[in-house]
Amino acid sequence: MSEQVLRDGNVLKRSHTRTIAQTAMLGAVAGILMNFEFPLPFLAPSFYQLDFSEIPVLIGSFAMGPFAGVMVELVKILVHLVTRGTSTGGVGDFANFLFGCAYIVPAGVIYRFHHQKSRAHAVAGMAVGTCLTTVLACFMNVFVLLPMYGRLFNMPVQAFIEMGTAVHASVHSLLGFAALIIVPFNLFKYTLTSVIVFFIYKRIRVILRGD
């Protein structure tokens, strides 16, 4: 019995060590990918940038669970801050962490906690995560992030509305900004991330923790 307990303890310890190593690895990759961001001028003002850093984070959430996904997200932000710094007074980094978690946690929960994990569960999880993140992004941008950013950089809220109008002529208020800028941008960003993960996850899973 004592030998069995010892073996079980060693297996658990190796599994824990492997999870930590994979979390650090995926977080580092995500942090580097976050540095390669670019605007989508046909969808949103240039201060909204697209990057592919959520791909490793979502893979981690699928492979190791939603809590591990949150840790990967945190490592990603820390790596980005160390390698690139912040140009938004931390507002953009906070938003990126918050929205990333809103995306990967429901996706990881729906996928991981089904006895028979399938692509259907993965798709359902990513769809829920995409919708939740889009709704949260609208609320947070309108009521928290844009006003906070404006105070930090002495920019009136009207300046953001005018930037939105330059992209979409029908934007005349913050609510219009949310509906015509934030919603399309986030749907595009997280749908694209979901499609990429859908096609690559099965291949990458073999070098991570199997299901």
* Mean pLDDT, all residues of the chain: 89
Beta bridge partner(s), residue 139 = none
Q: Does residue 211 surpass a pLDDT of 60?
A: no
- Residue 116's contacts (CB-CB under 8 Å, 6 or more residues apart) are none
Quote the tokens at residue 67.
């809590």
Domain annotation covers residue 128: yes
DSSP code of 143? I
Q: Which amino acid is at 27?
A: G
**pTM for the model:** 0.89
Tell me, yes or no, whether 211 lies in a domain. no
The residue behind tokens 């939740």 is 132
Q: For residue 55, name the pLDDT band (cuts at 50, 70, 90).
A: very high
| Run of H or E including 17 | helix 2-35
Domain-located, residue 8: yes
The answer to whether position 18 is within a domain reads: yes
The neighbouring-strand residues paired with 38 are 50
Q: What does the CA dihedral 126, 130, 136, 138 come to, rounded to 10 degrees?
A: 180
Residue 68 lies in a domain: yes
What's the CATH code of the domain at 60? 1.10.1760.20
Domain contains 79: yes
Is the pLDDT assigned to residue 5 strictly greater than 70? no
Q: How confident is the model at residue 39 (pLDDT cuts 50, 70, 90)?
A: very high
Please, which residues have CB within 8 angstroms of residue 175's CB and are 6 or more apart in sequence? 142
The model's pLDDT over 155-170, given as tens digits with 9 standing for 90+, comes to: 998 999 999 999 999 9
Least confident of 28-32, 51-55, 88-92, 203-207: 203-207
Domain count, the chain: 1
Q: How far, in Å, CA of 127 to CA of 122, rounded?
A: 9
Q: Please count the residues of the chain.
A: 211
pLDDT above 70 (res 11) = no
Assess if residue 29 is contained within a domain: yes
Counting DSSP H helices and E strands in the chain, the numbers are 9, 2
Indicate the angle between helix axes 91-112 and 119-140, nearest 10 degrees.
Answer: 150
pLDDT digit string, tens, across residues 59-79: 999 999 999 999 999 999 999
Tell whether 142 is covered by a domain. yes
